[in-house]
Structure 1
Amino acid sequence: MSFTGFPEAALDFYDDLEIDNSKYFWEQHKETYTTAVAEPMTALTEELADEFGPAKLFRPYRDVRFSKDKSPYKTHQGAFVQVAPATGYYIQIGAPGVRVAVGFYEAASDRLAAIRRAIDDDLHGPELVRIVRKLTKAGWEVDGERLKTAPRGYDVDHPRIELLRHKSLFVGKDYGFDEVIHSPALVDRVRKDWRSAKPLIEWIDRHGAV
């Protein structure tokens, strides 16, 4: 099955799900989810697998065990290509359209410590600064969970304190409702953007090993 684009029905499905996040709605529209969301996302990631590797499609069901919000269904569909622990390439579709991201979304304490040591290093740290700067100039937004102050052992006046504060670090780009998301050309757009952010993945993978 080749990717032909996400149909408008995918966006409509998530618009409606945000209003009625119920089992009844889901069961009445499960076929739409399958044909307009899950199948196109599978086709898209399969066409990218030759370069980036196979993707995992996340389950559409929320884990509500420890959440005050008991809404049973996610209001977006994500897919993730893992390159290293919690590190890789991501794409999702939801009511706001399509979004891509690249980086790491969490790290065990020893791995995070290794990444911070590399950021602190006067050779490897500036390399990451250059990578992030280049990506932001290309339209990526830097995101991730951050400490409000300096991590233990690092000075608040450290020249790379903003990067050291990150507990997770990724860059994201919104395609929104751009017409490309409804066409086969989305494959090439995602491929180009993921490829441009590959240096970030390589840096994290190289310096996050423990």
Structure 2
Amino acid sequence: MDTFEGIPFEGIPDAAFRFYADLEHNNNREWWLEHKATYDSAVKGPLTLLLAELEPSFGAAKLFRPNRDIRFSLDKSPYKTAQGALASTAEGMGFYIQLSADGLLIGGGCHTHTPAQLTRFRNAVDAPASGEALQAIVDDIEAAGFAVEGDTLKTVPHGFDKDHPRAELLKHKSLTAGVNVGQPGWLATPGAPAEVARRWEELRPLVDWIGRHAAP
């Protein structure tokens, strides 16, 4: 983030979304190199500045690499068609933002797990106090317009009642929530960090619960 230090955030321009719309049809090294200046000025720069303004409240965020890992993929397209970033509270969890041709996605939660984490998560969901607290958090998040997602099992995991009152939560192997806000007018203004912060604050109870009960 040092490259942009001292530069005020003025908004994410429409050119960022056009860049990714064009990339979807021109996903090759030649096109990328020809348009890298647009990536730097319309995507990387503004997102870096936006995240710097959010850092005091949510911690430092890391922009993901734009290159895809194609070593084991049948799809050899070299570049991601979205730019993501994570303000991490612990390994694999925190507050997430993603910019693509579809607009801006704002999310948070835990997207990875270890067997030990998963065991702690399920035990906390099963326990009445912590489990009911998580259910209330998820209900509030859904009421606020977020989609609750994550990797899930088809059935309740072994060792838990299939009619458990929080059966759907027990099926989760990861737990995230997000909302695609599209391309609202505020995104191209200096007020964008406040709008992102408002949504991240709505997700803070989920991130805090996971950090308390299922951290690495």
TM-score, normalised relative to structure 1: 0.98
Aligned twin of 1:193: 199
Using the TM superposition, name which of 7-16 and 154-163 deviates more: 154-163
On the 8 A contact 1:175/1:181 being kept in 2, the answer is no
Of the three residues 40, 46, 53, the one matched with 1:40 is 46
Aligned twin of 2:164: 158
TM-score, normalised relative to structure 2: 0.95
Aligned twin of 1:54: 60
Counterpart AA for 1:115: F
Q: Tell me by how many angstroms 1:118 deviates.
A: 0.1
Say if 2:18 is the partner of 1:12: yes
Q: What is the percentage of aligned positions where both structures have the same residue?
A: 45
For each residue in 1:183-206, what CA deviation from the matched residue of structure 2 results, as whole angstroms up to 9, or x when unmatched? 111110111111121111111011
Aligned twin of 2:101: 95
What secondary structure sits across from 2:80 in the alignment? coil
CA distance in 2: counterparts of 1:185 and 1:145, whole angstroms: 34
Q: Tell me by how many angstroms 1:3 deviates.
A: 1.4
What secondary structure sits across from 1:195 in the alignment? helix
CA distance in 1: counterparts of 2:168 and 2:208, whole angstroms: 20
For each residue in 1:97-134, what CA deviation from the matched residue of structure 2 results, as whole angstroms up to 9, or x when unmatched? 10110100011010111011000001110000000101
Of the three residues 80, 86, 105, the one matched with 2:111 is 105
Say if 2:94 is the partner of 1:83: no
CA distance in 1: counterparts of 2:201 and 2:40, whole angstroms: 28
CA distance in 2: counterparts of 1:85 and 1:12, whole angstroms: 32
Mapping of residues 102-141 of structure 1, within 5 Å = 102-141=108-147
Long gaps (5+) in structure 2: 1-6
CA distance in 1: counterparts of 2:68 and 2:52, whole angstroms: 25
CA distance in 2: counterparts of 1:208 and 1:141, whole angstroms: 21
Aligned twin of 1:208: 214
CA distance in 2: counterparts of 1:183 and 1:99, whole angstroms: 17
Long gaps (5+) in structure 1: none
Q: Tell me by how many angstroms 1:57 deviates.
A: 0.4
Q: Tell me by how many angstroms 1:152 deviates.
A: 2.0
Number of residues paired by the alignment?
210
On the 8 A contact 1:2/1:47 being kept in 2, the answer is no
Counterpart AA for 2:59: G
For each residue in 1:158-194, what CA deviation from the matched residue of structure 2 results, as whole angstroms up to 9, or x when unmatched? 1111001111101101110211211111110111111
